[in-house]
Amino acid sequence: MPVSKIKALRLYNPGIQGDFSLSYAPFENARKIKMLEASLSQLEQLVSDLVQQNQNLAAELAQAKDENESLQLSLMEHEEKQGATAARIQALVERVSAGPVSA
């Protein structure tokens, strides 16, 4: 019986002609399916890890935004106080510059 008629024993090594491989077509398909399932499982785990990382980063971003807003409000308050202090100092300088104080 010619080799081409026997599917289970067909030549399966496209790189080397005239040589038989231990991997026959039915078993090779099962091996490929297992490899694909393993790859799919790895991809699912990677996606799960990325989703978790994304959630963590979103939480960190929200916290950083809150902190940024708080710092901006604090800066505005300090600028207001600094402006008031500068105005008081300017008023004192003008009083001193206005002339000698009589005793």
The two structure tokens encoding residue 65: 């935004």
Task: Give the span between the Cα atoms of 14 and 53, in whole angstroms.
Answer: 44
* pLDDT per residue of the chain (103 residues) written in tens, 0 to 9: 444 544 454 455 455 555 555 556 677 888 889 999 999 999 999 999 999 999 999 999 999 999 999 999 999 999 999 999 999 999 999 999 987 756 5
* pLDDT of the residue at 47: 97
Q: Give all strands (DSSP E) within 1-103, no chain letters.
A: none
Find out whether 12 and 23 touch, Cβ atoms under 8 Å. Answer: yes
Distances 2 to 6, 19, 74 between C-alpha atoms, Å: 7, 15, 88
* pLDDT of the residue at 28: 80
Task: Give the span between the Cα atoms of 10 and 35, in whole angstroms.
Answer: 22
* pLDDT of the residue at 85: 96
* pLDDT of the residue at 102: 63
